[in-house]
Structure 1
Amino acid sequence: MFLVLFLQKKRKALQMKKIALILSFIVAIVTSCTVEPNDVTAERIQNQNLIEPTFMSGDLNNVPYVNLRPQTYTGVTSMQTEVETYQMTPTVQYNYLLLQGSDITLTDAPQSTSILIDIRIPECKWAVGTYNLSDDLTTGINGLDCVARLIEIGGETKTRLVSGSLTITEFNLATSTIKGTFNFTYQRRNGSVYEGSYELTNGAFKYKLDAPFFN
């Protein structure tokens, strides 16, 4: 009788051990199935961020514009940025980084809402910080001020910046990245005078520093 009870207890212990092993195996499978897709998704998102640039975006008088690119940008082999050199005198020259955003390329026919934004940043401001943003024609090229212009291509309307602000949140030559935010107020030209008060808000940019200047 004692031997029978002993064998029954041993058999139950073995059965419980088998059940525990099976449960552990199921938990391991479920855990691996849950974690792996998350890891793959995170990796895919990271790769997309590395490959896909964001260029320029902003709300022009409450109308959102996204994915504004240089007018010369036609594919991934195109340059995203350009460094312009202004030779002021035989011994004085200024380098400006041009960030351009437009919803059309040079070969596209403009729509009624098409725009072009040029932001020029002097070399002395190629660093993280917040800077005033001025009209490019009013301020001119002095090697000190960040300047910008907006052309409403669709309406063939020229504008003049009244005031603005540019914040560079990242300028990294190691990763070839510049990104930040901007905003400005402007007027539209009507004949020989400028009228109204209009705004670009929530401006943002992220470009690759791929100009030959940085090689």
Structure 2
Amino acid sequence: MRILLVEDDQPLSAALSNSLRAANYVVDCVYRGREALSMLAAEQTDIVILDLGLPDMDGLEVLREIRHKIKEMPVIILTARDKVTDKILGLDAGADDYLPKPFDMDELFARLRVLERRLGTATSAMVKIGEVALNTQTLELTVAGEAVSLPRRELMLLKVLMENGGRIQPKQKLESRLYEWGDEVSSNTIEVHIHHLRKKLPDNFIKTIRGVGYSIPVNGA
């Protein structure tokens, strides 16, 4: 899952992004509202975490522009403005959630998981397809009841595919969910990750949709 973090406090931004990356999120960081809107135009962001106190424009204005241009983009407001009226203004402007500072990272992670489920086909933190079960909260993976360990990016890739079971995931979209701006990505990176994943999963668990991407069928599809 690729997050755009819009926070002008650079030490806080660095701490937040490090925590999010440690939880296997891909994070792009910007410090101004206009930068955020420019990044969103590339259509590679899944969720926005938005501070309201930005130096170039009010965060609510950024939110309104997001809603005007990308109506379905999930947005969590993260701000020191903790009055009820501020919360109402944020939610009325189109925010999906509102988290006042200071906050607990576990609460932010929980709210992100809710938005992730809304974007995918999974209905809970435990996603089970056939003999493969993945707890998206703890990132514990089992195959036929046996625990399986995966490298970070393979685990992130499997998480995206399982959370969107039954949906075709284009190669470009998978790349955007695994790598941040500025990362060097070779043309066959996703193919290599899929190749390694298949060695640890049941036969034909991941389907190749030639010329498009990959999918994990559900219910025998």
The TM-score normalised by the length of structure 2 is: 0.24
Larger radius of gyration: 1
> Counting helix residues as a fraction of each chain, which structure ranks higher?
2
> Counting strand residues as a fraction of each chain, which structure ranks higher?
1
Q: Which has the higher contact order (CA 8 A, sep 6+)?
A: 1
The TM-score normalised by the length of structure 1 is: 0.24
